[in-house]
Amino acid sequence: MQTILTGVRANEEPTIGNFLGAYKSMVNLANEHSANSNINMFVPDLHSFTTPIDHSKLYAQVIKGIKYYIAAGLDANNPNIHIYRQSHVPAHSELAWILDCFTYFGEASRMTQFKEKSEEHADAITVGLFNYPILMAADILLYDAKYIPLGEDQFQHLELTRDIATRLNNKFGEDLFTIPAPEKEQVKFMHLEHGLRIRNLVDPSKKMSKSSENEKTKISLSDDPKAAAKKIMSATTDSEGVIRFDMINQPGISNLLTIEALLTDRNIQDVIADWAGQTSYGDLKRKVADTVEHFLADFQEKVANITDEQVEQVLAKGEEYANRVANAKLAKVQKAVGLIK
Neighbours of 282 (CB within 10 A): 10
Which of the stretches 73-81, 150-158, 254-262, 294-302 binds ligand AQP when contact is defined by CB under 6 A? 150-158
- Specify whether the CB–CB gap between 88 and 311 falls below 8 A: no
CA 304 to chain centre: 22
- Nearest of 152, 175, 155 to residue 165 by alpha carbon: 175
154 interacts with ligand AQP by CB under 6 A = yes
Pick between residue 205 and residue 280 the one whose CB is nearest to ligand AQP.
205
Told to check if 140 binds ligand AQP by CB under 6 A, we report no
By the rule CB under 6 A, 82 interacts with ligand AQP: no
Name the 3-class secondary structure at 243.
Answer: coil
223 binds ligand AQP (CB under 6 A): no
Strand partners, 85: 43
Query: Is residue 225 within a helix (H) or strand (E), and if so which, with residue range?
Result: helix 225-233
Near ligand AQP in 171-210, by CB under 6 A? 196-198, 207-210
Beta bridge partners of 42: 7, 84
The only residue of 4, 5, 17, 245 in contact with ligand AQP, by rule CB under 6 A: 17
Active site residue 171: no
Query: Binder to ligand AQP among 65, 133, 151, 252 (CB under 6 A)?
Result: 151
* Candidates 8-16, 123-131, 224-232, 272-280; binding stretch for ligand AQP (CB under 6 A): 8-16
Please give the size of the binding site for ligand AQP, defined by CB under 6 A: 22
Nearest C-alpha neighbor of 141 from the set 329, 335, 320: 329
Q: Which of 64, 67, 210, 329 is catalytic?
A: 210
**Nearest in space to 22 (alpha carbons), one of 60, 53, 68:** 68
| Site residues, ligand AQP (CB under 6 A) | 8-9, 11-12, 15, 17-18, 20-22, 150-151, 153-154, 196-198, 207-211
